[in-house]
Amino acid sequence: MKTDCEIVRDLLPLYTENLTSAESNTMIEEHLKGCEHCKKFFDRLGASEVKMSFNTEADQMFQNYVKARNRRARRNTLIVVAVGVAAALLIQSSSRIIRWSMELLGLNSSEIYVDENPANYNKYIGDDADFNYLSKWSMDESIFPEKITEEMNVENFRMVYYDPWDSQWLSYLVVDYNDKDYKAELDRLHAYNSTEYTGYYGARGFDEKYELAAMEADSYYGFVYALDAHEGRIIYVEMIFCNYEMDFYYPDYIPEDYLPKGFDATAENPYLKKNI
């Protein structure tokens, strides 16, 4: 489940420093055994030397000692974190409030990162992507090609990444295929187990010149999809975010006709107001 993955990934930084409880350790380790995506995320933390379990009483005593020492050393930090966690439990839109507070205090110095070089495609897409582009809130981006090959004529590519508080990604790839590869790619996309998207963020279909070939939609995290533009061209798009809005003005970064009709994930959009 996506929720389990999110919980585990939130706990992994503490787990690698031996700051989680024995019960949490058991839950994390069992999840990592069965979830390839979270295991890769764990490996990206550089945590390969962390033991996956404590088998002896001496190990457990040492773990408890390390926890106590680290807690004392980080007392002030943990107090701040505890207050933040308590607020998150009480307020449904806590992350939005924290982000607004950061902006108000001038603590948000994040910049929008843009790359339009197709040679960097696999830095951003797929299971071997760089750390900041690996998780993507567990959205399935297998709709996108695994890699760009010499046979693919890339007409356009853009990756946009922004992380003011919660990471968000916008990507699109426009490919012209030869007749054989075009048919094979459409067959692959049509075989994808697409999900319903109508109504999410006001979406109500696409421009009539496109046919939707595949769709991964989530009411909270956004869309990943592919459009058949006919005559050998396929357009791949991902709009991944959280808290019911994108924190940058995405219409400046993607052609409007690549987006679903009626799609609105701007600040204070109607779908956000309906769900918070």
In the prediction, which pLDDT does 91 show? 44
112: Cβ contacts below 8 Å, ≥ 6 apart: 160, 161, 162, 248
Query: What's the rounded Cα separation, in Å, for the pair 8 and 138?
Result: 12
Residue 110 has pLDDT above 60, yes or no: yes
Rounded to the nearest 5°, which phi and psi values hold at 203?
A: -65, 135
137 compared with 71, residue with greater pLDDT: 137
Return the SS3 of 148: coil
Q: Are 118 and 148 in contact (CB under 8 A)?
A: yes
Query: What's the rounded Cα separation, in Å, for the pair 107 and 114?
Result: 22
In the prediction, which pLDDT does 22 show? 85
Mean pLDDT for 95-123 is: 71
**pLDDT tens-digit series, residues 197-221:** 999 999 999 999 999 999 999 999 9
In the prediction, which pLDDT does 167 show? 93
**pLDDT tens-digit series, residues 30-76:** 888 888 777 877 877 654 444 444 445 555 555 555 555 555 555 55
Residue 83 CA to chain centroid, in angstroms? Answer: 26
Banded model confidence at residue 275, pLDDT cuts 50, 70, 90: confident
Percent of the chain at pLDDT > 90 equals 54
Q: What angle do CA 65, 66, 69 make, to 5 degrees?
A: 85
In the prediction, which pLDDT does 107 show? 47
In this structure, what token pair is assigned to residue 191? Answer: 């075989």
Instruction: Give a three-class secondary structure readout of 218-262.
Output: ECCCEEEEEEEEECCEEEEEEEECECCECCCCHHHCCCHHHCCCC
Q: What mean pLDDT, rounded, does the chain reach? A: 82
In the prediction, which pLDDT does 40 show? 76
Rounded to the nearest 5°, which phi and psi values hold at 178?
A: -70, 170
pTM (2 d.p.): 0.67
In the prediction, which pLDDT does 142 show? 96
In the prediction, which pLDDT does 47 show? 45
